[in-house]
Amino acid sequence: MEIKITKNPNPKEKPADESKLGFGKVFTDHMFLMDWDIDRGWHDARIVPYGPLSLSPACTALHYALEVFEGLKAYRTAEGKIQLFRPYENANRLKNSADRIGVPEVDPDDFVEAVLALVSLDKDWVPHTEGTSLYIRPVIFGDDSNVGLHTLRHAVFMIILAPSGMYYPEGLNPVRIMVEESDVRAVRGGTGYTKCGGNYAASQRASVLAEAKGYTQVLWLDGVERKYVEEVGSMNMMFKIDGKVITPALDDGSILPGITRKSILELVRSEGIPVEERKITLQEIIDAAEAGKLEEAWGCGTAAVVSPVGWLYAEGKEYEFNGGKIGPYTQHLYDEITSIQWGKAEDRFGWIVPVV
């Protein structure tokens, strides 16, 4: 793929205090764009100065949410190298999301090439402080200027970069999660396994209500029986019960197949700890918590990394896990995953792709 580069003539000041970065609020000097039309396919790959887009008010993505996205990170190692974590996993998941939603797929090799070119140009934006990284947000959206529902004729692939710190203000302190008993996020045959904007729109009302009650995020139950635990707004869930790591299975297609989830399961299995990927009822979690068998609970995701869950509100009651403190196994998983991501530990699973 040929990528035309137009350098930003007015580069911005980089954030002076990396401890105040937050998540996804500051953007770098450049972005990647590529156009698609039904006759020519993908063309005109380019890196241009970061800035506003010009869109038709009738743009398909605005009216019908024809949009899929990804989230991955670039990390700076102590030696100053910049590296990506499993970018082909994101490339392949974006392909699956695009296929489901009906926007054109980007070839995984082109996806990775575009990410490498953009990150390498904006490499000085990868933050230096422990716990920070450069969040990479690729998006494909339909941009026909036509409000009729029809086969898409134009689309855009875009990548933007945001130097970021911890996703949750709690940092590595446990978050409070609330089980959503009314709205559902995804159903079998729906779009739950994709990263499409519509999934997050369907989640928004419950998340706002949970936040108003002092909970960080919502724990979704299955959309049919409202009985089985699925995932949290931006992370997959794992529970350590009776010495086993248990996580909801992906079979129904209603849960996002998280790359952090996949990586943690590989790590846990490599340590000889038993893993169960299966259906888990909310009742099983409550029973285990009440019987003192629920040792630890955590969520995992690119933005959230490994995030302990200290409290769960369900059916009118709040349950506390591990005394509201990060558990030793959650801390161990956080340390193991981030050591590989930040290049402090050997990449023994072959997860790292160097940028520069």
Interface with ligand PLP (CB under 6 A): 71, 231, 234-236, 256, 258-261, 301-302
CB neighbours of residue 128 within 10 Å:
10
Q: Least distance in Å: CB of 234 to ligand COI?
A: 4
* Choice between 70 and 144, CB closer to ligand COI: 70
- DSSP, residue by residue, 126-178: S--STT-EEEEEEEEEE--B--S-----EEEEEEEEEEE--SSTTTTSPEEEE
- x/- mask, ligand COI, residues 286-305, rule CB under 6 A, reads ---------------xxx--
Q: What SS3 state is found at 94?
A: helix
Instruction: Name the residue among 281, 267, 266, 275 with its Cα closest to residue 244.
Output: 275
* Choice between 66 and 136, CB closer to ligand PLP: 136
* Choice between 152 and 259, CB closer to ligand PLP: 259
Q: Least distance in Å: CB of 122 to ligand PLP?
A: 21
Q: Least distance in Å: CB of 180 to ligand PLP?
A: 13
- Cβ atoms of 21 and 33 closer than 8 Å: no
Give CA–CA dist 113/107, Å, rounded: 10
Query: Would you give the DSSP letter of residue 103?
Result: S
* Choice between 299 and 343, CB closer to ligand PLP: 299
257 contacts ligand COI (rule: CB under 6 A): no
Residue 288 interacts with, from ligand COI, ligand PLP, none (CB under 5-8 Å by kind)? none
- Cβ atoms of 49 and 62 closer than 8 Å: no
Beta bridge partners of 68: 140, 196
How many chain residues touch ligand COI (CB under 6 A)?
5
Q: Least distance in Å: CB of 150 to ligand PLP?
A: 29
274 exposed, middle or buried (CB, 10 Å; 0-12, 13-18, 19+)?
Answer: exposed
Residues 6+ apart with CB under 8 A from 323: none
Q: Least distance in Å: CB of 303 to ligand COI?
A: 3
Q: Least distance in Å: CB of 288 to ligand PLP?
A: 22
Computed over its alpha carbons, how large is the radius of gyration of the chain? 21
Give CA–CA dist 197/310, Å, rounded: 28
Q: Least distance in Å: CB of 298 to ligand PLP?
A: 12
* Choice between 152 and 308, CB closer to ligand COI: 308
Q: Which of 97, 132, 199, 234 binds ligand COI (CB under 6 A)?
A: 234
Residue 259 interacts with, from ligand COI, ligand PLP, none (CB under 5-8 Å by kind)? ligand PLP
Q: In this structure, is the dihedral angle defined by the CA atoms of residues 268, 273, 276 and 281, taken in order, positive or negative?
A: negative
- x/- mask, ligand COI, residues 67-106, rule CB under 6 A, reads ----x-----------------------------------
Q: Least distance in Å: CB of 142 to ligand PLP?
A: 21
* Choice between 241 and 256, CB closer to ligand COI: 256
Give CA–CA dist 40/63, Å, rounded: 24
Helix (H) or strand (E) holding 218: strand 217-221
- DSSP, residue by residue, 232-298: ETTEEEEEEETTEEEEE-STTS-S---HHHHHHHHHHHHTT--EEEE--BHHHHHHHHHTT-EEEEE
Residue 248 interacts with, from ligand COI, ligand PLP, none (CB under 5-8 Å by kind)? none
Q: Least distance in Å: CB of 258 to ligand COI?
A: 8
Residue 326 interacts with, from ligand PLP, ligand COI, none (CB under 5-8 Å by kind)? none
* Choice between 11 and 108, CB closer to ligand PLP: 108
Residue 256 interacts with, from ligand COI, ligand PLP, none (CB under 5-8 Å by kind)? ligand PLP
Residues that bind ligand COI (CB under 6 A): 71, 234, 301-303
